[in-house]
């Protein structure tokens, strides 16, 4: 999970709240009624402006925004810029974030994923497709294989979990290219807590903040999804593995959303930070941390390599370190790292819990058997 700070305008039904008044390259703050963006002469963020509080001073090169100024609001500087954020009404912003309703949506949607996948698996087991006969039994002409046939033949030789892994990588890669072609529409897939939208809890799993972010996550997917998919927990079942991946991604996205409820927004502004409720987040790392947590539980003695380091660490020892790091980052923050620590930590906990409590025999198989029983009665 990656955090973009400051975030771009996403548009909101509650109107404009942060306004762009000077160019910041490709980034600007999201528009919400809770905060407004003003441009002033540079001053220390912990001191009140020296000019009249009834009307803010603007740079002569910048047009005055069409907003009214309230003298009771406090202005703070955004670090690294000559912009200022004005605290309007953070309680209204928290209500707009819909913490409870988004949580209910995440749970219901995740349950729906498992139920749908279990129904598909039950139908597949009751009505299996016959394996295709070799070409020479079908009377097809044998000869040189056309070049365009190689991708199809290669795909047919892959095992189910490898196909799933390549499919996830392909979807994320294609979505990243989509962002280069249609950036405005792509930005709408990121999740900003103050918007209180439900669909972005799902769509934000498939967006990444750059090729480095995308590459690291897809590298993790390629390395960990295959052994986890063929562990005793999933037994090479792609429907089960995919449902776990998607459900973990949605639930970890909501966890990142939920922790913004406990941040003191005025205090964050006073410290020169953009409040996390107004920061956009996205990435597949929450789901991948769930896969990693399951990997460490299923293969506790496996060595986990660290990028650019010549040694590996046992999975059972590495996982607690990673979880402690994200717990610290979630509570105290780590300067210079815009990471979704809550999404990482919750994802790892989901993976550990699903393995420890035997989700295969307590959730997945009972669902499949119940659907098979219902189908057989028909």
pLDDT (0 to 100) of residue 143: 67
Q: Tell me the residue length of the chain.
A: 378
Give pLDDT, residue 36. Answer: 36
Q: Are 38 and 96 in contact (CB under 8 A)?
A: no
What pLDDT, on the 0 to 100 scale, is given for residue 140? 56
Output the pLDDT for position 268: 79
**What pLDDT is attached to residue 18?**
38
Here the tokens at position 272 are 């020169």
pLDDT at 139: 52
* Predicted pLDDT of residue 43: 36
Task: List, for the chain, all residue ranges whose pLDDT scores fall below the cut of 70.
Answer: 2, 4-90, 130-143
CA pair distance 93, 266, nearest whole angstrom: 12
Q: How far apart are CA 14 and CA 88, in angstroms?
A: 14
Q: Count helices and strands (H / E) in the chain.
A: 14, 7
The distance of Cα 266 from the centroid of its chain, to the nearest Å, equals 26
As a whole number of angstroms, the distance between CA 15 and CA 240 comes to: 41
The pLDDT value recorded for residue 131 is 60
Considering the entire predicted model, what is its pTM? 0.76
pLDDT digits 0-9 by tens, 80-109? 444 445 545 667 777 888 999 999 999 999
* 360 closest CA partner among 178, 212, 233: 233
CB 341 within 8 A of CB 330: yes
Helix (H, G, I), strand (E, B), or coil: what is residue 368? helix
Q: What integer pLDDT is reported at residue 52 of this predicted model?
A: 40
- Predicted confidence at residue 5, as pLDDT, reads 55
């Amino acid at each position: 999970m990656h955090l973009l700070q400051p975030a771009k305008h996403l548009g909101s039904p509650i109107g404009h709240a942060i306004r762009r008044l000077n160019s910041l390259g490709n980034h600007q703050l999201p528009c919400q009624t809770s905060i407004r963006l003003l441009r002033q002469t540079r001053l220390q963020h912990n001191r009140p402006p020296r000019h009249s509080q009834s009307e803010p001073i603007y740079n002569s090169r910048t047009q005055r925004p069409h907003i009214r100024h309230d003298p009771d609001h406090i202005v703070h500087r955004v670090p690294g810029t000559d912009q200022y954020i004005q605290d309007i009404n953070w309680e209204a912003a928290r209500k707009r974030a819909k913490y409870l309703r988004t949580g209910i949506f995440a749970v219901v949607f995740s349950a729906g994923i498992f139920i749908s996948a279990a129904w598909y698996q039950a139908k597949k087991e009751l009505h299996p497709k016959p394996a295709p006969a070799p070409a020479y039994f079908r009377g097809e002409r044998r000869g040189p294989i056309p070049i365009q046939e190689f991708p199809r033949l290669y795909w047919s030789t892959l095992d189910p979990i490898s196909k799933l892994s390549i499919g996830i990588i392909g979807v994320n890669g294609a979505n990243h290219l989509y962002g280069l072609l249609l950036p405005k529409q792509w930005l709408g897939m990121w999740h900003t807590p103050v918007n209180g939208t439900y669909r972005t809890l799902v769509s934000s799993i498939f967006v990444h903040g750059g090729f480095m972010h995308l590459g690291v996550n897809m590298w993790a997917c390629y390395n960990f999804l295959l052994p986890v998919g063929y562990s005793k927990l999933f037994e090479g079942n792609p429907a089960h593995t995919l449902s776990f991946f998607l459900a973990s991604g949605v639930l970890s996205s909501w966890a990142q959303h939920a922790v913004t409820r406990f941040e003191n927004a005025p205090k964050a502004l006073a410290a020169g930070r953009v409040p996390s409720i107004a920061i956009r987040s996205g990435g597949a790392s929450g789901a991948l941390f769930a896969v990693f947590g399951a990997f460490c539980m299923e293969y506790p003695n496996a060595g986990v390599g660290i990028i650019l380091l010549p040694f590996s660490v046992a999975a059972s020892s590495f996982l607690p370190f990673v979880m402690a790091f994200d717990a610290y980052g979630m509570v105290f923050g780590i300067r210079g790292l815009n990471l979704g620590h809550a999404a990482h930590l919750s994802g790892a906990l989901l993976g550990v819990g699903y393995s420890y409590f035997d989700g295969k025999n307590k959730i997945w198989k009972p669902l499949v058997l119940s659907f098979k029983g219902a189908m057989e009665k028909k």
